[in-house]
A and B are shown apart, each in its own frame.
Chain A
Amino acid sequence: MAKRSNEPFLWSLFSSGGMIAALFIPVLLFLFGIAFPLGWIDAPSYNDMLDLVTHPLTKLILFALCSLPLFHWAHRFRFTLYDGLQIKHLNEAIAIFCYGGAILGTALAGYILWNL
């Protein structure tokens, strides 16, 4: 029997993260990275931001928004390093760096959101 692969599980994280990234990141990056700093639109006040991010539902969405796209990055970047730079012999080191980074980022986001 063939060895069981983790690939389907990792791929499901990759694809759900890719979907969340595609749907949510453009508007958020446009607002916080471009429109607010350039003064096109008034940035939310500190109290409004605090109210928004301390709402349990927002926290849940933000956690998913941080975690799943990180696994999307991990999966995609891993194979970009393999194909683009042809460093497949570093397979394990790259996998540990990518998925480890995603796990660390998830933990960090969870910790910060929990303490808000």
Chain B
Amino acid sequence: MKHNPDYTLYHPRWYRERVSTYWWTRKWSHFKFILRELTSLAVAYFVLLVICLLRAVGDGQESYNAMQEWLATPVAIVVNLIAFCLILFHTITWFNLAPRAMPVRVGGKRLADWMVAAPNYVAWLVISAIVAWIVIGD
């Protein structure tokens, strides 16, 4: 094997046990971690979808109708359902991470995790309701 000191940023001579590429498939918690990281693909997909939708609206009525027809195809529905599940997973893990990323202290005592996470869920509900109200209209 070619010696490649770039591969490890530290000491090239130290012995390191090889870890399988599929290390994250063996334990549920590891799998959840990789799944959580992969939700970023659904995020990127959503942005592409928004860009396509905006372009269709900019192109005129016909493009907008064509875009809606495409969105109603079974393939698009399945893709969007999967993306939606991943996004939900992102939202929940993201909110639940907040108390660990920034523990809030009041009067020297650390607030319970749920008290830090709860405002996120409230904000989520409020924003979702406002967005739905604006998009659906009257």
Contacts and interface: CB of A to CB of B under 8 A. Distances in A.
A and B associate:
yes
Interface string B55-99: 101100100110010011000110011011001101100110000
A34 B91 contact: no
Contacts of B95: 22
Contacts of B115: none
B136 A72 contact: no
Given A49-B64, A52-B134, A21 B90 contact: yes
A76 B44 CA distance: 11
Interface in A20-40: 21-34, 36-38
A77 B40 CA distance: 6
A26 B43 contact: no
Nearest to A58: B134
Contacts of A32: 49, 53, 71
Contacts of B81: 33-34
Interface of A: 17-19, 21-34, 36-38, 41-44, 46, 48-50, 52-53, 62, 65-66, 69-70, 72-73, 75-77, 79-80, 83-86, 88-89, 101, 105, 108-109, 112-113, 115-116
15 contacts: A22-B90, A22-B91, A25-B90, A31-B132, A33-B83, A36-B68, A37-B76, A37-B80, A46-B61, A52-B134, A66-B51, A69-B44, A70-B43, A73-B47, A105-B44
